[in-house]
Amino acid sequence: KAKHLEGTIGDIKISVYEGDLTQVTVDVVVNAANKRLDHAGGVALAISRAGGRKIQKESYEYVDKHGTIPIGQVMHTGAGKMPCQYVIHTVGPKWNNHGDEETVKAQLYEALVNVLYYAANRLKATSIAIPAISAGIYGVPVDVCAGQLMLATLKFVQSPPENNTLRDIRFVNIDDQINRTFVRIFSDSL
- State how far the Cα of 84 lies from the Cα of 81, in Å rounded to an integer: 8
**Interaction pattern, residues 52-91, with ligand ADP; x per rule: CB under 6 A:** ----------------------------------------
Q: Which amino acid is at 56?
A: Q
Q: Which of 30, 84, 115, 132 binds ligand ADP (CB under 6 A)?
A: 132
- State how far the Cα of 145 lies from the Cα of 134, in Å rounded to an integer: 7
Q: Which of 71, 111, 172, 183 binds ligand ADP (CB under 6 A)?
A: 172
Total residues found in the chain within this entry? 190
Q: How many residues sit close enough to ligand ADP to count as binding (CB under 6 A)?
A: 22
* Residue among 29 and 164 whose Cβ is closer to ligand ADP: 29
The reply to whether 43 sits near ligand ADP by the rule CB under 6 A is yes
The reply to whether 44 sits near ligand ADP by the rule CB under 6 A is yes
Q: Which amino acid is at 47?
A: I
DSSP reduced 3-state for 67: coil
* Residue among 39 and 120 whose Cβ is closer to ligand ADP: 39
- State how far the Cα of 159 lies from the Cα of 71, in Å rounded to an integer: 23
- State how far the Cα of 165 lies from the Cα of 10, in Å rounded to an integer: 13
Burial of 139 (0-12, 13-18, 19+ CB in 10 A): middle
The reply to whether 153 sits near ligand ADP by the rule CB under 6 A is no
The reply to whether 116 sits near ligand ADP by the rule CB under 6 A is no
**Which range touches ligand ADP (CB under 6 A), out of 20-28, 57-65, 69-77, 150-158?**
20-28
Can you say whether the dihedral through the CA atoms of 170, 56, 176, 85 is positive or negative? positive
- Dihedral of the alpha carbons of 188, 126, 170, 103, in degrees to the nearest 10: -70
Whole-number CA gyration radius for the chain:
15
The reply to whether 178 sits near ligand ADP by the rule CB under 6 A is yes
Beta carbon of residue 145, minimum distance to ligand ADP (angstroms, whole number): 8
Q: Interface residues with ligand ADP (CB under 6 A)?
A: 20-22, 32, 42-44, 46, 92, 131-138, 172-175, 178
